[in-house]
């Protein structure tokens, strides 16, 4: 299987190399801000000329066409931005020869991508969260620089080669990538250097020919219920504990944030405290990332089909709506408790877990099935199929009034997700499992049967079908 894969290594640069890395990242930020200023100035000039033409009696279409003709085309794409940079770089940046040309191209490429995303958002051709117009990069933003051409290679197990930066030692061995390159199973496409909490890293984006073994049990279907008390509960009864990475360092982060707020802006003590706070954030992110990688790797190498829910995290972590007190004032009841719940939900990173499962299952020949957002996994009885109208978060055990089943609510949800995955696979295939004793399709077992949304109100809301909500990656 030919895939794009990244290999990330921490660098061990000397003082001179560290200064060169900072210079390249600063040059990338400078090129981004310069190109953004050029685009904004040209757009402002076009708007000004258009207003003058309108005042002289021209129509809107004629004014816009005349203004664009006078000011010329706006450098919106990467080739146009590069042409303008090469034409003006000697005047605006006489020191440009100190860094590799890739550093400036990296900043202009980031700007071109931001402008394209904004244009696609306006035209309605871009999916996902809405984005606004590009804004200026500040000096405290994350520092990074991308190389696409030049001498980019792994010299040996402890050294990498980058354009203009030369040979840099790594803190961790690059044996795996070097062996793939020597055998011809990988090809480096680009390299990105970045800085985080005082540590420098290099990430190689490679085209790799992977030869992974299939899952040990390719016919097994497992459902995963993500939660806060436990990171995940599997349908086979396994419980993955939640590391609670943020809660482990929360007190230390609060102390450092208070200390930083008391320091004088621009002082060395404030800078030192901010570095300590950044290191604390790095530990939280590293702990969370390590647990998620271990879990997803184990699932992808063990099971052939993994079923998860399409969680609406943005809605789950929304602030509580203010309630009217009766005297014209409003109060957010339970705001502190809801804030704690939101923080715990975001600490589990459900979107990152789903992203890792998507590509790792593809490596091992597995399949990811995503249950619909309104699939009542927690309220549906895994034994008889009855659905509860209400189920509060405080109820940790699921009790079915119809068949008398008493089971942990997370395990019950995982079992329902596993059954959902089997039904989705049967719909994709022959589908004999959906027939009941009378030869007809069971109303609750049919994947294309309409289901009420899981809103806990009992009112007939928007109906969705399981087959339309399930997707495979």
Give residue-wise pLDDT tens across range 61-91.
888 888 778 877 888 899 999 999 999 999 9
Confidence label for 471 from pLDDT (cuts 50, 70 and 90): very low
Output the pLDDT for position 447.
46
Query: According to the model, what pLDDT value does residue 231 have?
Result: 92
Is residue 41 part of the annotated active site? The answer reads no
- The average confidence (pLDDT) of the chain is 84
Return the pLDDT at 396: 85
pLDDT at residue 355 tops 70: yes
pLDDT at 329: 64
Buried residues in 47-71 as b, exposed as e (16+ CB within 10 A): eebbeebeeeebeeeebbebbeeeb
In the residue annotation, 410 being an active-site residue is answered as yes
pLDDT at 79: 93
pLDDT tens-digit profile of 325-353? Answer: 666 665 666 677 778 888 888 888 999 99
pLDDT recorded at residue 325: 63
pLDDT of residue 332: 63
In this structure, what token pair is assigned to residue 382? 């895994």
pLDDT of residue 323: 65
Q: What is the pLDDT of residue 232?
A: 92
Task: Pick the catalytic residue from 109, 225, 347, 454.
Answer: 225
Is residue 468 scored above 70 in pLDDT?
no
pLDDT(283) > 80 = yes
Active-site residue, from 309, 310, 408, 455:
309
Render pLDDT for 81-140 as a digit per residue (tens, 0 to 9): 999 999 999 999 999 999 999 999 999 999 999 999 999 988 888 887 788 888 888 877
Among 260-264, 362-366, 397-401, the minimum mean pLDDT is found in: 397-401
Query: Given pLDDT bands bounded at 50, 70 and 90, which one contains residue 429?
Result: low
Q: Does the pLDDT of residue 144 top 70, yes or no? A: yes
- Asked whether residue 455 carries a pLDDT value surpassing 50, the answer given is no
Q: What is the mean pLDDT of residues 18-33?
A: 94
Q: Average pLDDT of 420-426?
A: 88
- Tell me: pLDDT of 436 over 50: no
Mean pLDDT of 252-266: 93
| Mean pLDDT on 304-309 | 92
Q: Quick check: is 225 catalytic? A: yes
How confident is residue 206, by pLDDT bands cut at 50, 70 and 90?
Answer: very high
| Annotated catalytic residue, options 109, 347, 410, 454 | 410
Q: Residue 141: pLDDT above 70?
A: yes
Q: What percent of the chain has pLDDT over 90?
A: 51
pLDDT given at position 443: 42
Min mean pLDDT across 292-296, 303-307, 357-361, 404-408 is at 404-408
pLDDT at 229: 87
Of the pLDDT bands very low, low, confident and very high (cuts 50, 70, 90), residue 59 is confident
């Amino acid at each position: 299987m030919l895939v794009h894969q990244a290999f990330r290594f921490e660098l061990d640069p000397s003082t001179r190399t560290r200064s060169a890395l900072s210079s390249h990242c600063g040059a990338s930020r400078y090129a981004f801000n310069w190109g953004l200023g050029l685009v904004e100035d040209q757009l402002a000039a076009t708007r000004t000329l258009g207003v003058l033409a309108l005042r002289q009696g021209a129509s809107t279409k004629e004014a816009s066409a005349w203004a664009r003709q006078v000011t010329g085309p706006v450098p919106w794409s990467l080739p146009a931005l590069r042409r303008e940079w090469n034409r003006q770089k000697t005047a605006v940046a006489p020191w440009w020869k100190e860094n590799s040309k890739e550093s400036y191209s990296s900043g202009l490429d980031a700007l071109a991508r931001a402008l394209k995303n904004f244009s696609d958002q306006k035209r309605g051709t871009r999916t996902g969260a809405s984005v606004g117009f590009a804004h200026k990069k500040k000096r405290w933003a994350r520092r990074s620089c991308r190389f696409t051409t030049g001498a980019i290679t792994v010299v040996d197990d402890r050294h990498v080669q980058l354009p203009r930066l030369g040979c840099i030692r790594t803190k961790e061995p690059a044996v795996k990538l070097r062996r793939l390159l020597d055998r011809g199973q990988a090809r480096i496409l680009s390299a990105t250097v970045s800085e985080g909490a005082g540590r420098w890293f290099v990430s190689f984006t490679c085209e790799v020919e992977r030869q992974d073994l299939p899952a040990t049990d390719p016919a097994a279907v497992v459902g995963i219920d993500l939660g806060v008390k436990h990171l995940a509960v599997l349908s086979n009864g396994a419980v993955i504990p939640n590391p609670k990475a943020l809660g482990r360092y929360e007190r230390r982060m609060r102390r450092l944030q208070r200390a930083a707020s008391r320091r004088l802006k621009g002082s060395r003590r404030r800078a030192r405290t901010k570095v300590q706070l950044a290191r604390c954030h790095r530990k939280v992110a590293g702990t969370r990332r390590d647990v998620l990688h271990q879990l997803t790797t184990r699932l992808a190498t063990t099971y052939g089909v993994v079923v998860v829910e399409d969680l609406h995290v943005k809605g789950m972590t929304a602030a509580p709506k203010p309630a009217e007190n009766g005297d014209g004032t409003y109060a957010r009841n339970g705001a502190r408790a809801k804030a704690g719940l939101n923080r715990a939900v975001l600490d589990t990173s459900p979107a990152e877990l789903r992203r890792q499962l998507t590509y790792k299952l593809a490596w091992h020949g597995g399949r990811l099935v995503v249950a619909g957002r309104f699939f009542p996994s927690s309220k549906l009885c895994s034994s008889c199929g009855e659905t509860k109208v209400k189920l509060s978060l405080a109820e940790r055990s699921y009790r079915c009034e119809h068949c008398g089943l008493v089971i942990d609510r997370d395990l019950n949800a995982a079992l329902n997700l596993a059954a959902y995955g089997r039904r989705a696979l049967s719909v994709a295939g022959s589908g004999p499992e959906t027939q009941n004793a009378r030869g007809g399709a069971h109303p609750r077992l049919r994947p294309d049967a309409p289901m009420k949304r899981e809103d806990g109100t009992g009112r007939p809301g928007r109906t969705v079908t399981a087959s339309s909500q399930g997707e495979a990656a």
